[in-house]
């Protein structure tokens, strides 16, 4: 059974590598817990293969989210993914600005609510 789990982990990491060209840190960390890795991977695979949005749009959304959260490594990963799908610098820059703007607006609105109490 352990060999079977190891084989599935290897397959997942190969699939991730085929998409990004490398194994992002989140997957590197999760490989030590095969159940968590499988859950995370298959959820994200489902989102990635859903056809409601094209791949580039999904990567640009991920760039905005990574910018909003301040996650440099995720930002780097999704910038590489977006470029691989044909993104130009203006699109990436706008996604970063939009994400940062959402984060700023969120912090401002929460702070103003506390202050107004």
Instruction: Name the residue ranges covered by the structural domains of the chain.
Output: 1-50, 51-117
Q: Which CATH superfamily is domain 51-117 in?
A: AhpD-like (1.20.1290.10)
pTM: 0.82
Rounded Cα–Cα distance for residues 93 and 108 (Å): 22
Q: Give me the pLDDT at residue 5, please.
A: 65
- Euclidean distance between the first and final Cα of the chain, in Å? 57
In 1-117, which ranges are continuous DSSP H helix?
2-20, 25-30, 34-49, 55-69, 72-84, 89-116
Q: Give me the pLDDT at residue 20, please.
A: 87
Q: Give me the pLDDT at residue 90, please.
A: 98
**What is 1-50's CATH number?**
1.20.5
Q: DSSP 3-state assignment of 32?
A: coil
| Each residue's pLDDT expressed in tens, for the chain with a length of 117 residues | 566 668 999 999 999 999 888 999 999 999 999 999 999 999 999 998 999 999 999 999 999 999 999 999 999 999 999 999 999 999 999 999 999 999 999 999 999 999 999
Cβ atoms within 10 Å, residue 65: 18
Q: Give me the pLDDT at residue 2, please.
A: 62
Q: Give me the pLDDT at residue 78, please.
A: 95
């Amino acid at each position: 059974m352990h060999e079977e789990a190891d084989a599935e982990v290897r397959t997942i990491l190969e699939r991730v590598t085929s998409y990004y060209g490398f194994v992002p840190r989140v997957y590197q960390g999760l490989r030590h817990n095969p159940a968590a890795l499988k859950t995370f991977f298959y959820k994200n695979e489902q989102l990635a293969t859903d056809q409601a949005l094209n791949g580039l749009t999904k990567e640009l959304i991920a760039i905005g989210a990574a910018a909003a959260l301040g996650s440099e490594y995720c930002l780097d990963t999704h910038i590489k993914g977006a470029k691989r799908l044909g993104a130009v610098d203006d699109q990436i820059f706008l996604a970063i600005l939009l994400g940062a703007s959402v984060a700023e607006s969120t912090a401002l609105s929460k702070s103003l609510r506390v202050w107004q109490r």
